[in-house]
Amino acid sequence: MEHRSRALLLAATILALGIVLGGYLLGDGLLRAKRSDRAVTVRGLAERDVTADLATWTLNYAEQNVDSAAAQADIARDTETLRRYFAALGFPADALTPAGAGVSHMMNNGVRTVTITQRLQLRTTDVARARAAVARQFELVRQGVQLQEGSGMAYSFTRLNAIKPAMVAAATRDARAAAEQFAQDSGTAVGGIRSATQGYFSVEARDGEGGGYGVADTPFKKVRVVTTVEFYLR
């Protein structure tokens, strides 16, 4: 009987210890889970000034005459003028390529006129030389080439993939700095990254709208990316 009582007492003691230990572990687990839910979401910004590495100039020009053959001869003369113009500036012959042509007829006071339009495209990675060509374009007008609306130069930045990794890293560092400031103000510390989302890369005119440029009109651009990062707090 005494042996049985001791066995029951031992079992009750073990059970009580198990309940206490289980309660402790459960409470500690809930506390750790609660701590793991503490996080802050911030945004990080990275910007970089870049210069376009590709210039494209589509030149639209036209000639009008009552005689179709004469209009064609005038267009041929303009094309040769353009080729000489770019050759004199140091562009290779293959920098210029035909980009289309059109013919239209119109009756005016009983007289039929023919208008021939032609497009040549300059495509070059020599952006500085391209800018010089645009700056002197009125020489073409003085030589009789009638440049039409839409004959603007477009500048592009094509090396975005080369700078993406460094910019994402910079944006993440900026986000961590914001999280650390938040943690300092709240008396906590920043842990690892819980989740992160990379925003879209944008390429804008460096001087913004106030500079009077559209993004394609200037070789000076600003690349921008915003990342959203959630950090653990501990």
Give how far Cα 51 sits from Cα of 57, 171, 172, 225, Å.
17, 21, 24, 17
pLDDT-based confidence at 115, cuts 50/70/90?
very high
Q: How far apart are CA 209 and CA 166, in angstroms?
A: 27
> What is the number of other CB atoms lying within 10 angstroms of the CB of residue 205?
20
Q: Domain 38-53+157-234 maps to which CATH number in 3.40.50.720, 3.30.110.170, 3.30.300.30, 3.40.50.300? A: 3.30.110.170
Q: How far apart are CA 203 and CA 149, in angstroms?
A: 25
Second CATH level (architecture) for the domain 54-156: 2-Layer Sandwich (3.30)
Hey, which residues does 60 pair with through a beta bridge? 119
SS3 (DSSP) at 189: coil
Surface-to-core class of residue 220, CB atoms within 10 Å of its CB (0-12 exposed, 13-18 middle, 19+ buried): middle
- Look at the block and give the residue holding tokens 């961590």: 176
Q: Return the closest-CA partner of residue 40 out of 223, 178, 155.
A: 178
pLDDT-based confidence at 214, cuts 50/70/90?
low
pLDDT in tens, 135-189: 999 999 899 998 888 788 999 999 999 999 999 999 999 999 999 998 888 888 9
Per the CB < 8 A criterion, the answer to whether 83 and 71 are in contact is no
This prediction's pTM: 0.73
SS3 (DSSP) at 72: helix
More reliable by pLDDT, 208 or 13: 208
pLDDT-based confidence at 2, cuts 50/70/90?
low
